[in-house]
Homo-oligomer: A and B are copies of this chain.
Amino acid sequence: MDALSVAQRKLMPEMSELLKKRYQILQTINFEQPIGRRTLSEIAGATEREIRKETDLLRNQQLIEMKTAGMTVTSQGLEVLEKLKVFVREMSGLTDMEIQLQTILGISNVVILPQDSDEILAVKSHIGKEAARLLETLFGRYEKIAVTGGSTMAAISKELSIGKPNRALQFIAARGGLGEDVLHQANTIASAFAEKTGGSFKTLYLPDHLSAEAFEMMMKEPVIKEMMDLYDQTDVVVHGIGNAEEMAVRRHSSLEEVEKIRSGGAVSEAFGYYFDKDGKIVYRIRTAGIQLEQVQNASTILAVAGGGSKARAILSYFKNAPNPTVLVTDEGAARKIIELTKKLEEL
């Protein structure tokens, strides 16, 4: 942020919010084009009237066009989007926050995207896109990639660009179906990743909640064993981070499980492990899947989670997270994390 911009903001403080809002609208149109007012207002988290006011202005500025099919971004609009990209980041203080988060979480790489995915639907896509881009840079060096489930992971798969097929890539479902919605299961995600990139995928199907004996037995099965070997060889792990209670509910966990999770003070969840606020493992779902040690042996770990509501979970998970982890998150989560940390320090 140069001196000129600082002075500008000082003289026109209302500019910041306005610029961010318009930029986000323009960005979303670019993302979803062609799109209409109503749909846009849902995705962008604004009222129809507001969208209308702003899009009318954007059209007058020849940044977008309105056709009967919907609104599209013009080449001028694209240019503006490109030129202001870094500026909007700087202005939102994202660069500063990234450095703060790196210190707080004890990892060397954090990427923060503008706005809050809790409030604005489109932000989840932006997170997905950013994670997808990051992941793609790894494709040359690494081949075995383990992926978990969740809506965030699904967002990444949607944003993977369909380039020239890379047959060498192998996507491995990190867990079996954990009672989740099929669309968001690790197996589904792995297959989606493979489809987009032209690689192959390996799925893991195993019923939940096996008895100890049955579990032992299954682990000796060749199909399962093969998966466990693959986990050992995993180069890259891509995973989401969940809120402990939310996950328990979503997975229709048994009363017994829920009790353990709750009494243990679980805050976050990742790979089927539940962590408390200090990062200690409180509970783990006893089923086949990647083990924490195996995750830690991976060359690169990509953690993806956004929204202010995920702040506590992110903080919890990163208490003991492997160092090479890269976190992709959003402004909402980042601000909340910083706020929580400050409060903690004050005590």
Contacts and interface: CB of A to CB of B under 8 A. Distances in A.
A18 interface: yes
A6 B63 CA distance: 13
A47 interface: no
A214 interface: no
Interface stretch (A19-27, A233-241, A275-283): A19-27
Which bucket holds chain A's interface residue count? 20 to 34
Given A4-B84, A83-B4, A87-B4, A12 B10 contact: no
Interface string A36-59: 000000000000000000000110
A80 interface: yes
Query: Within the oligomer, what is the number of copies of this chain?
Result: 2
Contact of A84 (B11, B63, B79): B11
A6 B22 CA distance: 15
Contact of A83 (B3, B15, B83): B3
A15 to B, nearest CB: 6
A3 B86 CA distance: 12
A12 B26 CA distance: 12
Most interface-central of A13, A22, A80 (chain B CB within 10 A) = A80
Interface in A48-78: 57-58, 60-61, 63, 76
A11 B87 contact: no
A8 interface: yes
A12 B18 CA distance: 8
A136 B282 CA distance: 79
A7 interface: yes
Nearest to A84: B7
Most interface-central of A6, A7, A18, A60 (chain B CB within 10 A) = A7
Given A4-B87, A87-B4, A80 B11 contact: yes
Contact of A61 (B10, B79, B83): B10
Given A7-B80, A87-B8, A15 B15 contact: yes
Contacts of A23: 11
B10 A19 contact: no
A80 B12 contact: no
Contacts of A13: 57, 60-61
A177 to B, nearest CB: 46
Interface string A148-183: 000000000000000000000000000000000000
A18 B14 CA distance: 11
B11 A19 contact: yes
27 contacts: A4-B83, A4-B84, A4-B87, A7-B79, A7-B80, A7-B83, A7-B84, A7-B87, A8-B19, A10-B61, A10-B63, A10-B80, A11-B19, A11-B22, A11-B23, A11-B26, A11-B61, A11-B63, A11-B80, A11-B84, A12-B15, A12-B18, A12-B19, A12-B22, A13-B57, A13-B61, A15-B15
